[in-house]
Amino acid sequence: MTLSMRSRSWLIFALFVLGILLTMAVKGVILPRMELNAQQYKVEQQNPLTHDPAILQKYRSKYMGDFSNLSNLFNALPLSRTGMTFQLNSEALTAEILYKGNTEVLGAEQVERSLLYNATAAFALIDNLEGLTFSFENKSYQVKRSAMKLWYGTGLSGLLEEEMWRTKVQHRLGDHAYSARFAQTVLTTE
């Protein structure tokens, strides 16, 4: 059975209209929604309480001297929108993260939470990293691996299991007193 010329024309017209409607739906609804979700995800990655720990696993390394890995790790952590540069001291096994922001502008609570989160991530993921210095325009903080081990009372790499990370690291950051105590007892200021 063959379609008549008129039936074919209607079929082609219907497919054409359907194509236009689908294109409008994709461009007008689906793509903007996907873009909004992507933007929301980026915003969530700046907050230690909503940061996705699953993205951190790819930055696991035995050596802190892998500059590319270290810089990519900190660019995936909270405070990355502040902008930063890095200095590595391979003899002392330390890294300095030089943030372009001011702690007063960022807010003490956000800075304390982020430094606890970022230091935990760095020490848990980079096996031979022994110390970090977080330098801002107006203040600098230092933290050592040994102090972080005492803070958590456990080996840091054990925190990398997603459920352990959420309970031992992320959920505790909801309590401002917890991160303030960290800033007072573990971080040293310069």
Given this model, what pLDDT does residue 28 score? 79
Range from 1-10, 115-124, 159-168 carrying the lowest mean pLDDT: 1-10
What does the pLDDT average to over 84-95?
95
| AA identity, residue 8 | R
Instruction: Write the burial class of residue 141 (CB in 10 Å: 0-12 exposed, 13-18 middle, 19+ buried).
Output: buried
Extents of the domains making up the chain = 1-44, 53-189
Please give the average per-residue pLDDT across 107-114, as a whole number.
93
Q: Cα–Cα–Cα angle for 185, 52, 175, nearest 5°?
A: 35
Res. 88 pLDDT band, cuts 50 70 90? very high
pLDDT band at 75 (very low <50, low <70, confident <90, very high): very high
pLDDT of residue 124: 96
How buried is residue 47: exposed, middle or buried, by Cβ count under 10 Å (0-12/13-18/19+)?
middle
The CA angle 85-125-42, to the nearest 5 degrees, is 60
Q: What local confidence, expressed as pLDDT, does residue 43 receive?
A: 63
**Average of per-residue pLDDT across 148-169:** 91
Task: Report whether pLDDT(38) > 70.
Answer: no
Of 85, 114, 109, residue with least CA distance to 99? 85
pLDDT reported for residue 33: 78
